């Protein structure tokens, strides 16, 4: 029996306001379901949703419609040329997504074959944290298939690669890596943060799971943190369970921003990749530069492989927007180079509208000691540029002035 509204006290009336309208027309923008909890019509419905017996939402740590909208959007882009879209899960950060994947499929005694040039946070997770729980990792040159094959063991559960290695820009042969992994019953997990789905879609090349730090190109504006994993629904369901239990869930507000970023992803990445190609080719000719790592350069060891793997448009093949410049002079020269830049911002992250720069060994890969840096092919003076949307002439001029200040080798 309904209680007449006039019989309720003012506090009750304030708390129990009329629900918002449910529009018959579809909103053009993505609605933000900024709520921790969802109400049910009965105790039985509540129990059925919590136990995954019927679809629905109960609590935003578990699932949220806005987060699901973002994850499904990424799945649609990653599965563009597949017979059916993969499943996906959103996370609070790229590292939360990586942790969720590794925790879902690794147990004590498990073994991982991982790129030696992997992102420092991933390296630390495997080398420092998961090793405490009996997980062993072999760090190898992931572009060297013989080195990968030699590292495989009966206990290998995951082969972990990056589509474009951070920061060496090495590009592995994903199809052959997938064959190596699957022949021993392992999963191929690919971090494709540096090659979003408008550059490469690893699932098309045999990868089982694809991870993105959505903070980077997907968000695209350096104002939101998030991660996402796509892959076969059977695998994603296991990852979802880990996410729910560990609590690394994406917030609805961040999911809204990340989904919005997807709408301009092709436009931004095309421009950034084109600018990076010009920037890399020009800086490679400067006498103060020891080397430039960029897959778009003809001198890059995996240049032809990258041409086959990566998407092309009217502007040519998109080789990404990460350019690693190593000046002569080692660590001191690398840090001095960074300090002399005026247009590029010294900052964490990548993939945004502004060009960001970092001295690799002291920042993104600070977890690696000198031996690990050498094994990864990272020079003590390496400087990573994440090219933004500025004019290429301005970025090149800024870098040239900074390099000239270092003097000649």
Which residue of the set 63, 173, 191, 254 is catalytic? 191
Which residue of the set 157, 201, 216, 240 is catalytic? 216
Residue ranges of alpha helices (H) inside 284-391 are: 303-309, 330-340, 370-376
Q: Tell me if 192 sits within 8 A of 260, measured CB to CB.
A: no
Give me the long-range contacts of 237-243 (CB less than 8 A, separation at least 24).
237/87, 238/104, 238/105, 239/89, 239/100, 239/101, 239/104, 239/209, 240/89, 241/104, 242/100, 242/103, 242/104, 243/89, 243/91, 243/96, 243/100
Residue that the structure tokens 């240049």 belong to: 303
Which residue of the set 63, 68, 119, 268 is catalytic? 119
State yes or no: is 119 an active-site residue.
yes
β-sheet bridge partners, residue 293: 324
State yes or no: is 160 an active-site residue.
no
State yes or no: is 132 an active-site residue.
no
Q: Tell me if 105 sits within 8 A of 152, measured CB to CB.
A: no
Which residue of the set 61, 72, 175, 176 is catalytic? 61
Edge-to-edge, what's the strand order for the sheet holding 136-140? Answer: 87-91, 227-231, 209-213, 187-191, 156-162, 111-115, 136-140
Task: Collect all residues with Cβ–Cβ distance below 8 Å to 42 and sequence separation of at least 6.
Answer: none
Q: Tell me if 212 sits within 8 A of 227, measured CB to CB.
A: yes
State yes or no: is 340 an active-site residue.
no
Helix 392-404 vs helix 265-283: crossing angle, to nearest 10: 40
Residues marked active site are found at: 61, 119, 191, 216
């Amino acid at each position: 029996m309904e209680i007449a509204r006039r019989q309720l006290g003012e506090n009750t009336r304030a708390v129990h306001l009329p629900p918002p309208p449910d529009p018959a027309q579809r909103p053009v923008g993505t609605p933000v379901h900024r709520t921790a909890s969802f109400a049910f019509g009965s105790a039985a419905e509540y129990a059925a949703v919590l136990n995954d017996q019927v679809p629905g939402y109960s609590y935003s740590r578990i699932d949220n419609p806005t987060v699901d909208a973002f994850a499904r959007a990424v799945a649609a882009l990653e599965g563009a040329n597949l017979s059916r879209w993969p499943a996906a899960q959103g996370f609070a950060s790229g590292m939360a997504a990586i942790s969720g994947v590794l925790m879902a499929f690794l147990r004590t005694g498990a073994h991982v074959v991982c790129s030696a040039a992997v992102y420092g946070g991933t390296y630390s997770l495997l080398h420092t944290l998961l090793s405490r729980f009996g997980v062993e990792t072999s760090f190898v040159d992931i572009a060297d298939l013989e080195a990968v094959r030699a590292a495989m063991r009966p206990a290998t559960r995951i082969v972990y690669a990056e589509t474009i290695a951070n920061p060496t820009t090495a590009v592995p042969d994903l199809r052959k890596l997938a064959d190596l992994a699957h022949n021993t019953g392992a999963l191929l997990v690919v971090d494709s943060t540096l090659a979003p789905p408008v550059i490469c879609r690893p699932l098309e090349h045999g990868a089982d799971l694809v991870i993105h730090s959505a903070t980077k190109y997907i968000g695209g504006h350096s104002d939101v943190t998030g991660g996402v994993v796509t892959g076969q629904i059977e695998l994603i369901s296991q990852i979802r369970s880990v996410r729910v239990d560990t609590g690394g869930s994406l917030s609805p507000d961040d999911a809204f921003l990340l989904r919005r970023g997807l709408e301009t992803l092709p436009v931004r990445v095309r421009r950034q990749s084109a600018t990076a190609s010009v920037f890399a080719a020009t800086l490679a000719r400067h006498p103060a530069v020891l080397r430039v790592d960029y897959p778009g350069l003809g001198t890059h060891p995996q240049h032809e492989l990258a041409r086959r793997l990566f998407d092309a448009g009217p502007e040519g093949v998109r080789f990404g927007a990460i350019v690693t410049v190593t000046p002569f002079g080692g660590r001191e020269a690398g840090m001095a180079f960074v300090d002399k830049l005026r247009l590029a911002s010294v900052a964490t992250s990548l993939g945004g509208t502004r060009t960001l720069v970092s001295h690799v060994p002291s920042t993104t890969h600070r977890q690696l000691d000198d031996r690990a840096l050498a094994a990864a092919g990272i020079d003590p003076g390496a400087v990573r540029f994440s090219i933004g949307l500025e004019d290429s002439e301005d970025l090149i001029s800024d870098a040239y002035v900074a390099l000239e200040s270092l003097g000649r080798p």
